[in-house]
Structures are given as C-alpha cells and as structure tokens.
Structure 1
Amino acid sequence: MNMMPDDREGFAAFLLRLRGRGIVPKNLIAAFEATPRRDFLAGQFHSIAWSDRMLPIECGEAIEGADLQAAVISALNIEQGNRVLEVGTGSGYTAAVMARLAGRVVTVERFKTLTDLARQRFEMLGLGNALVRQADGSNGLPGEGPFDRIVVWAAFDSHPRMFVDQLSSGGTMIAPIGPEEGEQVLCKLTKIGSRFEREDLGVVRLQPLARGVAAVI
C-alpha cells in the first residue's frame, strides 16, 4: 500500500503501541497495512487516521480507535476459511481487515448510507469475500449460521444467549456487555457444547446495541 508521509508516521506509531500491548501477529499487521484506513474517513481526519481516538463518520456514528480494533480482531484469532459475522459495519474498515484473514465476512449495518459506502469501499479494494447488508443485527443472522467468529461493536445489557446457536462448536464471539451509560466489559465468549465460556478482555465504552433498521438514512 502506498502511504502518505503522515500515514506512514501514524502507522509506525500504531505498530509501536500494538507491540507494547503484545499484539504482534504478522498476518494481522499485514492485513491492517494493506487496508488504507484514510479511505474510510472524511478528509479532515486523514492525518489522525491511525490514532486510538474514536472518530466521527456518517449517520452520527463513529469509528473505534485503531488500537481497540486491532485488539478485538487479534482476540478473535481468525483463521483461514473462517466464516465471520460482524454486527455494526460502521465505515466498513474492520470488515475489510477481517476479510484479508477470513474465508468470508458478513457484516450487518442498520443505516443504508453506511451500508452503501462500505459496499463501495469493499469493491474498490477488490474484497469479494466481504458482504454487507442493511439489517437489524441485534439478534445476529439466525438463518445464516453457523459462524466461526462473531464480533459486535455495540453493548448488550446482558449475556447474549441468542447468539449461541449461531456459533460453530469451539467458535468465538467478542462483544461488550454492560449498562448503556458508562463502561462495559469487553467479553470473549467461546462456545463449549451449548454454552459460552467467558473471558473478560478489558473495559470499553461503546454505544448500546440499537434494534431495528434506520427508516431514512
């Protein structure tokens, strides 16, 4: 990927932060490097594209900081051939990165504008294995599982049991669980039999999971 000078500096700082947190999988770093982050952001944010700040995108939404995205994708431990479900497409950036690691990524977004923009970006990058659709993803995609990995970029107020049947045996789901206001716990849920084994990864502050599809935008 041809990076602008400020991109190269930002990406180098991002790599240093990841290494400081012990996140060093070569395939993950290569996937981030191959996915031009500035193309998923408005022009005024290009110079800080690789920062760990949440940055605004269309429809009043935001893209998570690069470090959180990397930590979550690393914890998913995506393997070649995996089927991945993402709830909350946003800009489409994380789906694009995951598509370089997985067999297939299905990403669900409630806003039509974000859905259309993500689709255009996937086409521009030639990512034929990243599929985006406008839908209510609050209960996943029950008719399309099982998935090997599921990631949700919005908080559940309690354990998301409705997703158990959508995960393959031994599959992994990562989602924040906690109250709408304040902080939530980022949880890694591994399917063992018909239940989840939970591992807490840290504390985040994300929007609560919205239900339904946006009527206009």
Structure 2
Amino acid sequence: MTRWDAEQKMQFLFALRSNGVTDQAVLSAMEKIDRAPFVKGLFAERAYEDTPLPIACGQTISQPSVVGLMTQALEISPRDKVLEVGTGSGYQAAILSQLARRVYTTDRHRRLVREAREIFEAMDLANITAITSDGSFGLPDQAPFDRILVTAAAEDPPGPLLEQLKIGGIMVVPVGQSDAVQSLIRVRRLENGFDYDELRPVRFVPLIEGLARDH
C-alpha cells in the first residue's frame, strides 16, 4: 500500500483549496486521512488526483474536492452525531470521523460495507459504525442526527431522512434526475420547517431503494 509523500500531500491540498475547500478543520481532516487505501487495483496510482474513480459494485469514490465541499457545507462540530447514506469506499466516512463525535454510515452493498469496515479498523477509526441497509430510510433507531450527508442523488430530499434530522440540524444531499447534472442542496431544519440552499452542480450515482444482491 503506497503512502503519500509531502509533495503529493501539498498538491492534493492545493487542489482542494483551488476548488473552494477553505475550512481549516476540513483541510486538516483530509490531510490526515490518506485516500490511497480506499482506491484499489488499477486506479490505486491515481489516488491523489482530484477526480472520481471507479470502485467495486459499479460505484465511485467521489472527487476529493467534492468530498471537501460537502463536508464543509455540513458545518460539523465535535459533539455532532452524523449519518452518511452511501458508504461507498468509506473515504467520506473516514473524513467525517475526524470532525464528529460519532459517524453512522450505511450502504446497500454488503461488500462495500465489509471492505470499508476493514479499512476503518486498520486506520483505528473507532467512532464509525458501518451498516448494510437501505439508506433511503435512514437509521430510525439511532435518530435524530445533528448532520446527515447523502452521497447519492435523490429526486427530492428523502422524507425519512428529513424526519431524522434534529431541529437546527443540517443535511447535504445531491438532488435531481440521475442522468442529468444535479444540484447539491443544503437543508437546515428549523422549528417550523426546512430551509433549502443550493450550493453547486454535481454528478452522483442515483439513490436506489432496497439492498443490492451482492455478498
């Protein structure tokens, strides 16, 4: 497994800053978590490029600058309990684990959850719980959450997830048709409803209901 050197790290952080990731806590978290263990096979040598890459089960690991921007938009504080829908490679959850008290991450692909768990253990990230489940329903037993991050696109912010957000909480979710460009939306839960904020255009895989038929 390659480890990044000082020059790669500098270029990586420069790409993040150039793309609008300016929050110092987020940059520090992304400097601490090496992306290489989350990228396997043919694409391993491209781990430090600011680009999305294919992973198992037909999914992708997001572009680092998009991971940074989504994390920044959540405005996480150290006492927060965070739900991530769409574990994928586990990279985003690992970043969140540096900023929040507790991270719950779910994916419909058992294999992705299993592989992500192995990396979390190897990196000694003890505050992440990875679960195979249909993330569009959230995790009612652990609700409410201070922050929710959805890493797959829905046509609308899913109702069960909105319900599981604490008052004062923030959810960041890509919204739009799966085959077109989507918008990254930040939702704040207020005492009497929700406030929606459009952040930027993005492209994510669609949020699919049900568990995948893989092992």
TM-score when normalising by structure 1: 0.92
Aligned equivalents of 2:118 and 2:95: distance in 1? 15
Q: Deviations over 1:22-64 (max 9, x none)?
A: 4222222221121111011114323321222210111121101
The DSSP-based 3-state class of the residue aligned with 1:108 is: strand
Aligned residues: CA RMSD: 1.6
8 Å contact kept, 2:86–2:106: yes
Q: Following TM superposition, by how much is the alpha carbon of 1:194 offset from its aligned partner in structure 2, in angstroms?
A: 4.1
Match of 2:57 among 45, 59, 64: 59
Deviations 1:94-150 (A, max 9, x none): 101111110000000111111111111111111111010100011211232100000
Alignment of 1:117-132 (within 5 A): 117-132=115-130
Query: 1:215 is matched with which residue?
Result: 213
- Please list the CA deviations of residues 159-194 of structure 1 after superposition, one character each: whole Å capped at 9, or x if unmatched: 433322211111000001111211111000000124
The answer to whether the 8 Å contact 1:14/1:67 transfers is no
CA distance in 1, matches of 2:212, 2:36: 26
> What stretches of structure 1 move > 6 A for 4+ residues in a row?
none
Q: Secondary structure at the match of 1:216?
A: coil
1:108-123 correspondence to structure 2 within 5 Å: 108-123=106-121
* Count of aligned pairs: 214
Unaligned runs of 5+ in 1: none
Task: Give the Cα separation in 1 of the matches to 2:120 and 2:18.
Answer: 31
Q: Distance in 1 between matches of 2:116 and 2:191?
A: 35
* d(CA) in 2 for partners of 1:91, 1:21: 22
Query: Within 1, Cα distance between the matches of 2:192 and 2:107?
Result: 27
Aligned ranges for residues 21-100 of structure 1 at < 5 Å? 21-100=19-98
Aligned-pair identity in percent equals 37
Helix, strand or coil: the match of 1:168? strand
Alpha-carbon distance change, 119 to 159 in structure 1, aligned in 2, over 3 angstroms? closer
For the Cα contact (< 8 Å) 1:10–1:51, is it kept in 2? no
TM-score, scaled relative to structure 2: 0.93
**Larger deviation: 159-168 or 114-123?**
159-168
Of stretches 202-211 and 10-19 in structure 1, the one that deviates more from structure 2 is 10-19
Which of 187, 190, 203 matches 1:189?
187
Structure 2 spans left out of the alignment, 5+ residues: none
Whether the aligned pair in 2 keeps the contact of 1:186 and 1:200 (CA below 8 Å) is yes
Partners of 2:107 and 2:131 within 8 A in 1? yes
Tell me if structure 1 keeps the 8 A contact 2:81–2:101: yes
Report the secondary structure of 1:138's partner residue: helix
- Tell me, in whole angstroms, the C-alpha distance in 2 between the residues paired with 1:4 and 1:214: 33
**Partner Cα separation in structure 1 for residue 17 and residue 206 of structure 2:** 30
The 3-state SS of whatever aligns with 1:150 is: strand
